[in-house]
Amino acid sequence: MDGLMTEAMIRADSLSKRYGAVEALKEASFVVNRGEIVGFLGPNGAGKTTTMKILTGYISPTSGRAEVAGHDVETDSVEARRAIGYLPEHTPLYTEMLVSEYLEYVAEMRGYKGAEAKKRIKKVVEETDLGAKLGAEIRALSKGYRQRVGLAQALVHEPPILILDEPLSGLDPNQAAGVRDLIRALGRERTVILSTHNLAEVQVTCQRVLIIAGGRLVADDTPEGLTASRGRPRLLVTMKREPSFDASAFEARLRALSAVENVRAIGLDDPGEIAFELTSASGADARAEVFHAAVESRGVLLGLERRGGDLEDVFRSLTTEASKERAS
Ligand SMILES: Nc1ncnc2c1ncn2[C@@H]1O[C@H](COP(=O)(O)OP(=O)(O)OP(=O)(O)O)[C@@H](O)[C@H]1O
Ligand SMILES: [Mg+2]
């Protein structure tokens, strides 16, 4: 097949899921193409796990359909599952087993025996760098290593698609960096969708991001595209703190400026300085107005720095818009 051709490996078509009175997922449609690492981002209860359970065949959608590697997850579930490696949100690891025993068990469950099973286990142990831990009990492993065991489990049958539900949650920054590198490496040859709350994570790991809030998909774009189109540029204003300078009067003056929409005082480590973060309506440039306001307040302006909008702004504005819509 032509390597440059985009090929849909996951296709969700108007998926909805209702648990009793709870509408956990509302007509979500998206596509993940071969070779992509896509971040599935949303607040608690947004519907991430629900979507992943539908894609992996653990639950059925109330309506809509999904395809994985060309197989309908409901009518062709065996083939669909064969194409997927799944790291669930709460990995049901057998904690009293040794890592080696657990991987042998997983290989056996997948139908591999003898030399074939050994070969598969050897490969995933290399891929997840678990060689030094084969003789350890799972319960004695750090969370980072447990996540590696969970990933190894997902890779035994060499699936072209990985579905990872919060693979980095609960890991300290060092472990998270290790697992993140591992996911990036695994993503070179596979299609990956991973869920997370962590925006920084998405920016470094994913080529595309799907944002879900209240069961609805509210964005589908590259991280750069999202911040360019929806992020609010900010202005960081740093003033010298001195007895003659009235910080609260200055803050009120900033608030009154025509180009300024919102002002937030920021605590700084340096007791000699005080800073304010400004957002401006429709990206208007407030710098000149801020300069004059500082002069009129007899304040010493130490810094005036423009910062681009970041993914956190986008996430917060999109997900709070969705919750307002739900409340109304
Ligand atoms: N088995 C269930 N029965 C009833 N309600 C459920 C069930 N599973 C999930 N829900 C509800 O469906 C909604 C979506 O849940 P889901 O677990 O998909 O969210 P999530 O995005 O994975 O959240 P988190 O970030 O906390 O993992 C929530 O309101 C949740 O309470
Ligand atoms: Mg979840």
> Ligand 1: which residue has its CA nearest to atom 1?
19
Pocket test for ligand 1, best of 22, 193, 202, 315 (most atoms within 8 A of CB): 22
- Structural domains of the chain, ranges and CATH numbers in brackets: 8-228 (3.40.50.300), 232-308 (3.30.70.100)
Task: Indicate the residue type of 305.
Answer: E
Residues 6 or more apart whose CB falls under 8 angstroms from that of 58 comprise: none
Q: How far apart are the CA of 273 and the centre of ligand 1, in A?
A: 45
Task: Compute CA distances 156 → 35, 38, 162, 245, whole Å.
Answer: 19, 22, 12, 66
149: left (phi over 0), alpha (psi -120 to 50) or beta: alpha
The reply to whether the predicted model has a pTM over 0.85 is no
Q: Which residue has the tokens 């359970």?
A: 53
**Cβ atoms < 10 Å from Cβ of 315:** 24
What pLDDT score does 5 carry? 63
Which residues form ligand 1's pocket by a CB distance below 6 Å? 19, 22, 24, 42, 44-50, 89
Structure tokens at 119: 């070969």
Q: How far apart are the CA of 227 and the centre of ligand 2, in A?
A: 25
* Ligand 1 atom showing the smallest separation from residue 46 Cα: 21
Pocket test for ligand 1, best of 17, 41, 50 (most atoms within 8 A of CB): 50
- Per-residue pLDDT tens digits of the chain, which is 328 residues long: 444 567 999 999 999 999 999 999 999 999 999 999 999 999 999 999 999 999 999 999 999 999 999 999 999 999 999 999 999 988 766 788 999 999 999 999 999 999 999 999 999 999 999 999 999 999 999 989 999 999 999 999 999 999 999 999 888 888 889 899 999 999 999 999 999 988 878 888 999 999 999 999 999 999 888 877 766 778 899 999 999 999 999 999 999 998 888 898 887 778 899 999 998 766 678 899 999 999 999 999 999 988 766 777 788 878 876 665 555 4
Question: What is the Cα Rg of the chain in Å?
Answer: 25
Per DSSP, what are the bridge partners of residue 8? 33
3-state SS string over the chain? Answer: CCCCCCCEEEEEEEEEEEECCEEEEEEEEEEEECCCEEEEECCCCCCHHHHHHHHCCCCCCCEEEEEECCEECCCCHHHHHHCEEEECCCCCCCCCCEHHHHHHHHHHHCCCCHHHHHHHHHHHHHHHCCHHHCCCEHHHCCHHHHHHHHHHHHHCCCCCEEEEECCCCCCCHHHHHHHHHHHHHHCCCCEEEEEECCHHHHHHHCCEEEEEECCEEEEEECHHHHHHHHCCCEEEEEEECCCCCCHHHHHHHHHCCCCEEEEEEECCCCCCEEEEEEEEHHHCCCHHHHHHHHHHCCCCEEEEEEECCCHHHHHHHHHHHHHHHHHC
What pLDDT score does 80 carry? 97
What pLDDT score does 310 carry? 74
Which of these, 261, 232, 231, 251, lies nearest to 297 by C-alpha position?
251
Structure tokens at 216: 């609805």
Q: How far apart are the CA of 271 and the centre of ligand 2, in A?
A: 42
Q: How far apart are the CA of 270 and the centre of ligand 1, in A?
A: 43
